[in-house]
Amino acid sequence: MEEKYFICEDSLEGIFTGIYEAYALREEHERIHIQVGEEENLRLFAVYIEIKPDREKAAKVAGTINRRLGEEAYLDICRALASEDGQKGEAVYKMVVCGLRMKDGRRIMGNLADPYVHKVFELARFTRNEVHHWKEFLRFQELENGILFSRIGPKCNVLTFLAPHFADRLPLLDFVIYDEKRGIFAVHPKSKEWYLVTDRDFEEEKIAPYSEGELEYQELFTFFCHKIAIKERKNLKLQRNMLPLRFQEYMVEFGQ
């Protein structure tokens, strides 16, 4: 029999739709595969089917995962799908198949002997660590219009995990978190719910300038960070281990 490859959009909705369609075929899951995006080299004796994201189908899959595999497994799946790994769609699909075959699907994340479950576990852990780092290293800067603006460049698509964290801590403030690698904004109007906006043509130079108070505090904060450093105990290798270079370009204290 031919192998079937479902070409899905790189999003939770796209991959969940692919899983829905895979079950709808009622064929052997071993011969069906989920692929994120197009592939340069096509396989022989394989059929490629393009899957368009469908919100209702994705919602049904999400509901089934929550109900049968549990909320913890669902969150790990969401974290895994936020990664940039090209095999994430296949891993999540085969993990869901494994979990639904188990008598108690809520124990699926303990089945690390399964290569697909292990893959999802590793991807989820990486995303979780990335979120943890950005919660610590993200820096807001006040614009002239009073909005707090932050620019980040994470390895994973972590905005949907970061926005609720800061919305809970800054409910009375207007803030925007901009993921420059994906052209996505998390926008939080004060006392309202946050939402996502996509604009890959955004030019950061066009945003309002920083407020006078912000510039003063940036200068003071940078001076403070340099002043408290002990030259004799300077250890750049240890610093890079604790604070990798890829974060430093987004932090005010390393800007000068």
Cα distance between residue 4 and residue 15, in whole Å: 15
Residues sharing a CB contact under 8 Å with residue 40, sequence separation 6 or more, in sequence order:
none
Domain shared by 34 and 109, yes or no: yes
* Strands lying side by side in the sheet with 32-36: 32-36, 3-8, 46-50
Element holding 49 (H helix, E strand): strand 46-50
Q: Are residues 118 and 164 in the same domain?
A: no
What pLDDT was estimated at residue 207? 75
21 and 101 in a common domain: yes
114 and 159 assigned to the same domain: no
- Cα torsion through 135, 141, 145, 146, rounded to 10: 60
Residues in Cβ contact with 219 at an 8 Å cutoff, skipping those fewer than 6 apart: 256
pTM metric for this prediction: 0.88
Each residue's pLDDT, cut to its tens digit, for the chain (256 residues) gives 688 999 999 999 999 999 999 999 999 999 999 999 877 677 778 889 999 999 999 999 999 999 999 999 999 999 999 999 999 999 999 999 999 999 999 999 999 999 999 999 999 999 999 999 999 999 999 999 999 999 999 999 999 999 999 999 999 999 999 999 999 999 999 999 999 998 766 666 667 788 989 888 888 888 887 788 788 888 878 878 888 889 988 988 886 5
Q: Which pLDDT does position 201 carry in this prediction? A: 64
Residue 237 has what pLDDT? Answer: 84
- Residues 120 and 16 both lie in one domain: yes
Q: 62, 97, 129: which is the final residue of a domain?
A: 129
Please, which residues have CB within 8 angstroms of residue 170's CB and are 6 or more apart in sequence?
Answer: 148, 188
Q: Are residues 98 and 192 in the same domain?
A: no
My answer on whether 174 and 75 are in the same domain is: no
**Domain end marker among 106, 129, 152:** 129
Claim to verify: residue 22 and residue 122 sit in the same structural domain? yes
Contacts of 198 (CB under 8 A, 6+ apart): 183, 184, 185
The single residue listed with the structure tokens 């999540």 is 92
Domain holding 222, by residue range, is: 138-254
Q: How many domains does the chain contain in total?
A: 2
Whole-number Å distance between alpha carbons of 131 and 144: 28
pLDDT, residue 202, reads 67
